[in-house]
Chain A
Amino acid sequence: MSSEHPDLSADATVASPPLKPDAKENKKNVTVIAALWLVLTAIGIALSIWLTSALLPSSMSTEMGGVRSTVLVFSLAAAPVVAFVLATSIYSLLAWRKAPGSADVPPPDAPPLRGNAAATGIWLLTSSVLVVFLLVWGLSEWSAQQVVQPNDLVVKVTGQQWIWNFTYPDAKVDSHALVVPLGRQVQFNVTSLDVTHGFWPVQLGQQVDANPGLVTTIRVTPTHLGHFVVRCSQLCGLYHAYMYAQGDVVTAKAFEQFLEHHGASAATSAKVALLAARQGGQ
């Protein structure tokens, strides 16, 4: 075993590499990185548009429309940033990779650039502008979702291990499937009888947890007729995977028929009242 301290002054005789690149090299660096950046940004934009439309479910509500546009806009905003990081790191490998003299000897030292106030400033400024943009976009989307429309429909959502059921308190109807009318804002009052569940009507683009002893609220305005799925988004034990329900957005007329079909019998209204009492007593 050698207990010698390695020699630190080995390359002290070598002159420092120049801090400033020569103009020609600098031009090459900037041009190639800019070109790479443009190409990658274009790819990023194309991917953003294609993926948003191909992957996200088609919009069935104002809120899902908001999700789709947010994902698209954020992806477009991120594309140039991602492209810049990738362009410079790819270029660093292409242009600055140095073959060492032998396997165990490092390449000669690079210019000791210890920082660049302008680069740091521009970087901070750009990321701050992007953050402000994200925040403003998010807050405006969010506050638009807080508006309560007149004549909204209230649906009580009850989660329990491992089934959803839905109560229409005005009509004194309960159901295993969630049926909502087109074009009318629906307010979901969500609660749970045991553990925390996540009420997630997927294609409606909103979700909120179902908490025992508490009522949480979300609102959606369905904009397209069709079928959607309600899933549970919060791990709730054994049959969490099977905790789903079917949903339909139907015309106002079909909605009336649905309520009539489920008939507000005395038995049903007694059950609805009993369930309400149970939840109140939690």
Chain B
Amino acid sequence: MRRTIGAVGFVALLSGIVALVGLGFTNQTYHSSIGTLRATTSAATTACGKPMVAQQLSFATYADSSGTNSAGQLVHPGGNPNWPSYGPSNIFSVKAHACVTMTITQFDSGGALNNPYFDSIQGTVGDVATMVSNQPSVSGCPSGQSFTYKGTYHQISPCDVGHTFTMRALPGVDPGFFLSVPLPLAGNGNNECDLDSCPKVTVTFSFISGPKGTYAWNCEFPCGLNVGNFGAVMSAYGYMSGYLHVV
């Protein structure tokens, strides 16, 4: 009897240690000072050319993940000055089967993609986005092609990319869903710069959200270190990666 109680107590004690370790590993913080960034719903009843709920979501990419943005929010709590980051959150939430309009302000520099496949837009309404850029056109590649860095675009030069916003559903949620938008580079940006003269590109696009579930987004521009420049920030969860919850 004494040993039975002892065994139960012993198992409870060790399980408690396991549970504590679990708490230590939990992904509770979202790597965000503001928690989940929820889309706002506008009054419009027609969006994306159809009668449906219209939602808006704005966020940005910053060159310095340890800094703050113009609203004074931390870009990425515990960030690294040499690492860029999406911010101020990497977890987004939108309504299901809605027309979601995303506005991403790009404050970061860039270069060439590993795979030119990601130089064109897929999965948005009309496969296009609109950019407002105060940047001069950058000489492009492949040679012989020219790209205009203003207004509506489908494709940019694979050598002039700052980041990409690339998203697919978690396995089994919405298998056909695929969204990828290249964001043109913007020179060496300043996180807090709101002036018109600051190098920045604002990209706006709309897509129709799928069924309820979780979608994973990441950046396909090699802005990290080591092999393929996909180490460091690209492989550290929460900087160039995150989730979109469709609710």
Stretch in contact with the other chain, from A7-15, A41-49, A98-106, A234-242: A234-242
- With a cutoff of 8 Å between Cβ atoms, the chain A residues found around residue B122 in the complex are 176
- A274 to B228 CA separation, bound complex (whole angstroms): 17
A229-B168 Cα distance, complex, nearest whole Å: 14
Provide the residues of chain A in CB contact with B237, threshold 8 Å: 238
Binary interface encoding of chain A residues 242-268 relative to chain B, with 1 for a CB under 8 A from any of its CBs, else 0: 101010000000000000000000010
Q: Counting CB contacts under 8 A, is A158 at the interface? A: yes
Q: A238-B235, A242-B171 are in contact. Are A271 and B117 (CB under 8 A)?
A: yes
CB–CB A193/B168 < 8 A: no
Q: Which residues of B contact A270 (CB under 8 A)?
A: 142, 144-145
Contact in complex: B220, A163 (CB < 8 Å): yes
Pick the contact of A274: B142, B168, B171 (CB < 8 A): B142
Instruction: Tell me which residues across on chain B come within 8 A of A238, comparing CB atoms.
Output: 218, 234-237, 241
With A161-B230, A239-B216 known to touch, is A275 a contact of B235 (CB < 8 Å)? no
- Determine the distance from Cα of A229 to Cα of B142 in the docked complex, in whole angstroms: 32
A160 near B168 with CB under 8 A, answer no
- CB of A193 within 8 A of CB of B216, answer no
Residue A29 at the chain B interface, CB threshold 8 Å: no
Interface of A is mostly: mixed
Contact between chains at B117 and A275 (CB < 8 Å): yes
Nearest-CB distance from A266 to chain B (Å)? 8
Residue tally, chain B, CB below 8 Å to A: 31
CB-CB under 8 A for A195 and B119, given A238-B235, A273-B142:
no
Residue of B nearest to A246 (CB): B175
- B148 contacts chain A at the CB level, 8 A cutoff: no
Pair A194/B227 contact, Cβ less than 8 Å: yes
Q: With the chains together, A271 CA to B216 CA distance in Å?
A: 26
Q: How far does the alpha carbon of A163 sit from the alpha carbon of B115 in the complex, in Å?
A: 10
Q: Please indicate the chain B residues that have their CB under 8 angstroms from the CB of A239 in the complex.
A: 216, 218, 241
Chain B nearest CB, measured from A197 CB (Å)? 12
Interchain CB contact under 8 A, A194 and B116: no
**Chain B residues near A177 (CB-CB < 8 A):** 176
Question: Which residues 197-224 in B have Cβ within 8 Å of A in the complex?
Answer: 216, 218, 220
- The answer to whether A271 touches B241 (Cβ under 8 A) is no
B69 within 8 A of A: no
Q: A188 to B55, alpha carbons, bound, how many Å?
A: 41
Residue B155 at the A interface, CB < 8 A? yes
Interface residues of B in 130-156 (CB under 8 A from A): 141-142, 144-145, 155
* Min distance, Cβ B126 to any Cβ of chain A, angstroms: 16
The residue in chain A whose Cβ has the minimal distance to the Cβ of B122 is: A176
- B109: interface (CB < 8 Å): no
Q: Is A271 in contact with B171, judged by CB distance below 8 angstroms?
A: no
A212 to B117, CA, bound (A): 17
Other A-B contacts than A161-B228, A195-B230, A242-B216, 19 sampled, CB-CB below 8 A, are A163-B166, A193-B114, A194-B230, A195-B227, A229-B175, A238-B237, A239-B216, A241-B170, A242-B171, A244-B171, A246-B176, A267-B120, A267-B145, A267-B155, A270-B142, A271-B142, A274-B116, A274-B142, A274-B158
Instruction: Give residues in A with beta carbon < 8 Å to B.
Output: 158, 160-163, 165, 174, 176-177, 193-195, 212, 229, 237-239, 241-242, 244, 246, 267, 270-271, 273-275, 278
6 nearest A-B residue pairs (beta carbon): A194-B228, A271-B116, A193-B114, A270-B142, A274-B116, A242-B216
**What are 25 A-B pairs with beta-carbon distances under 8 A?**
A158-B117, A160-B115, A160-B228, A161-B234, A165-B115, A176-B122, A193-B115, A195-B228, A195-B230, A229-B175, A238-B234, A242-B168, A242-B170, A244-B168, A244-B175, A246-B175, A271-B117, A271-B142, A273-B142, A274-B158, A275-B115, A275-B116, A275-B117, A278-B115, A278-B116
